[in-house]
Amino acid sequence: MFLGGSIHSVWAGLFILVQETTPVHYRTFTGGIMNFGWNVGALILCALAYFIRDWRNLQLSFAIFSLTMISYFFFVPESPRWLLSRGRIEEARSGLIKVARMNKVQLENEIRHLEFSNDDIKPNGNFKEEFWKQLSQFSQLVTSPQLRTRVLLLAPTFFAVGMGSYGIHFAARLADLNLFAVTAVKEIANFLTIVILIPIFKKVQRTRCLAFTYFLAGFVAILFLLVPSHVTGIRAGLLVIAQALFVGNYFLVDTYAPEILPTPVRYILIHL
């Protein structure tokens, strides 16, 4: 329980950091790149599980991977947006200068003399004040009629894609083929699906794209159940396609949801 909770907390923190440091017109692309991490990790898992059959040693290998991420604390910069909201202006300015240098953009003079309005700078509050502030933002999800409607519409979409994606992931053994081969091919298909959807999602109307991919994923998943168990090749193919479509849906809804929610509450809903 603690392991699963901590992993998703890490994902939430990383997702927010990336979104806060990415221009709006690149967020569809960076959202896709973030999802590639799941696919690459699953491929590594598949390879490790093939060679390491003892679950204790396999768990140890996962732990070693996670421990190496402690080094990120020393290399990944803090979000300038968050620093600015905490009133740490000089640190935010220094971070922006480093970003500019990394991208070979000469902005030192502009950033050095950049001034912020009082609305942009929020002094640090104590824990009690922050707690009640976050609680009031959370309450907006149910007290505001417009937000309440959007939450009620979005929550089932996250639930459906989570149930479908993880359900198919754990049902790979039902394909009656080599478990490792099916899993590896499935993750490659997931990767390619997101690559295809990134440019499509930027050009096609969001709601229509979501509705079509949800329908297609559900149709293929049901079709998998209707195919006789002895037709192993077709069942394996349908399993791979269904998983890829559900992963694509997750990328689409995870990119779409922040665009229709205000900043203070968008990440509360996404990571509940």
pLDDT at site 265: 59
The CA-based dihedral angle spanning residues 50, 1, 257, 44, taken in that order and rounded to the nearest 10 degrees: -10
Where is pLDDT greater, at 174 or 110? 174
Q: Tens of pLDDT along 157-204?
A: 888 888 887 887 777 666 667 778 877 888 888 888 888 888 887 777
Residues of the chain above pLDDT 90, percent: 1
Cα 3 versus chain centre, distance: 18
3-state percent helix, strand, coil for the chain, nearest multiple of 5? 80, 0, 20
* Domain coordinates in residue numbering, the chain: 25-69+127-270
Res 124: pLDDT: 53
* CA–CA separation, 35 and 20 (whole Å): 17
The more confident residue out of 168 and 258 is: 168
pLDDT digits (tens, 9 = 90+) for 128-156: 566 566 666 666 666 777 777 877 887 78
One-letter identity of residue 115: E
pTM of the complete model beyond 0.85: no
